[in-house]
Amino acid sequence: MFQKILIANRGEIAVRIIRACKQMGIETVAIYSEADQYSLHVQIADEAVCVGGNKSSESYLKMENIISAAISKGAEAIHPGFGFLSENARFADLCESVGIRFIGPSGSVIEKMGNKSKARELMIKANVPVVPGSEGALKNIVEAKKLTTKIGYPVLIKASAGGGGRGMRVAYTELEFDNAYETARSEAFNAFGDDTMYLEKYIINSKHIEFQIIADKYGNVVHLGERDCSIQRRNQKVIEEAPSLISEELRQKMGEIAIKASKSVNYVNAGTIEFLLTGDDFYFIEMNTRIQVEHPVTEMVTGIDIVKEQINIAGGEELSFTQEDIKLEGHSIEVRINAENPKENFRPSPGKVELLHVPSGHGVRFDSFLYTGYQIPPFYDSMMGKVIVHGKTREEAIKKMRATLDELIIEGVDNNRQFCMRILFNNEYYKGTFDTGFIPKHSGSLLGYDDYE
């Protein structure tokens, strides 16, 4: 097993990985930008190295600086977390080329599945059901419009290198298409340096269901059940839960397809197969070749520490469990707490945390990097942390989350706590009849312009 691991990330996921390493007796090296000098992950790691300036492009995306930090500190492996370089095939290959283990899949697999249009082509060949659309990347806007005429509106224009809802636009009519395509393409280039696009039929009134996959290098592939990630704002997840409200028969069917998709590319380590579900019909949309923000809800219902499993697999160990060992116990919900102002179009709101009070107790977890007095920098994603609860039933979990958010205090920065509270009190959410159109449909009440529904 590894003696020392460098965490190539920041914020709550860096803290999460460091804590797992500590429990495994593994020393940790944190990296940080100049703006993150006093961040929690820097303070709790065994060692820390500054890798550059405030912006991500000057620090957390500087591959050579990160590799140099790992070599200088004697780290045997790098955990990339999520975002930044976690799905960068070149970075994974660079790690391996200097004898450092990348805690994730190989660069070749990331290249196959991290590129959304290439992944779509591979899944079609593997007979995995996909959303109707382009077979691969689009050549240009002319080809895109011809295909749209064939499959019909609305359509979803997506960046091949996309993620986190960036480089993605919906065109409901022909009049909207040109602007949607060019906006998505421009956003994709600015975010990922790649403006390659592909296109899918936009399926209305669908649920976003994802299966957690974990696989070792010996050919063992297991799914840890599914998560419902349908509560989204502009294709970015807000609330996730596990398990979803699907039948056991459908869960088994979707799980088998998720495993089939993973095996078709010889996937190793933790990953996520994402589907759109409408009725009992489901379609592959993408694979995330990394750990997900929402992994804690799966941990809560399975009792499996996914980060520790990632490390064990990278260290050459075989999975210690089989599919038959996986039992989903109770229900878990996660709420993302962001430094943003929902009433001002969710404007990011960095600043100083004047007071932080986090509820604790049975079945309550808070994954975060916050502390009282911490100055949230303006250079990164607005997520401050995640509140996760577990209950015996979904109803119990909802009530526990309501109570937890009601007690949560984060003073000094605007945040979305009240916005998320209103979701939890919405009758449609409570009944589980929501889909990916939930937030746009209820935006008035969620922003406080109406009373609770």
What is the per-residue pLDDT across 229-261, written as a single tens digit (0 to 9) for each?
Answer: 999 998 899 999 999 999 999 999 999 999 999
Residue-level pLDDT at 343: 94
Residue-level pLDDT at 452: 43
Residue-level pLDDT at 135: 83
By annotation, the residues acting in catalysis are 290
Residue-level pLDDT at 118: 86
Q: In this structure, how many other beta carbons lie within 10 angstroms of the beta carbon of residue 437? A: 13
Superfamily (CATH H level) for 207-446: ATP-grasp fold, B domain (3.30.470.20)
| β 77-79/101-102 pair status | parallel
Measured CA to CA in angstroms, residue 13 lies from 221, 294, 368, 448 at distances of 24, 11, 8, 31
CATH class, domain 132-201, is alpha beta
d(CA 211, CA 244): 10
Phi, psi angle pair for 203, to nearest 5°? -90, 115
Q: Report helix, strand or coil for 452.
A: coil
d(CA 187, CA 190): 5
Q: What is the mean pLDDT of the chain?
A: 95
Which among 318, 319, 260, 270 is positioned nearest to 110, based on CA atoms? 270
Point out the residues of the chain with pLDDT beneath 50: 452-453
Enumerate the domain spans of the chain.
4-103, 132-201, 207-446
Residue-level pLDDT at 311: 98
d(CA 407, CA 423): 16
CATH of 4-103, one of 3.30.420.10, 3.40.50.20, 3.60.10.10, 3.40.50.300: 3.40.50.20
Q: In this structure, how many other beta carbons lie within 10 angstroms of the beta carbon of residue 368? A: 21
Which among 195, 305, 212 is positioned nearest to 262, based on CA atoms? 212
Q: Report helix, strand or coil for 394.
A: helix
d(CA 136, CA 445): 40
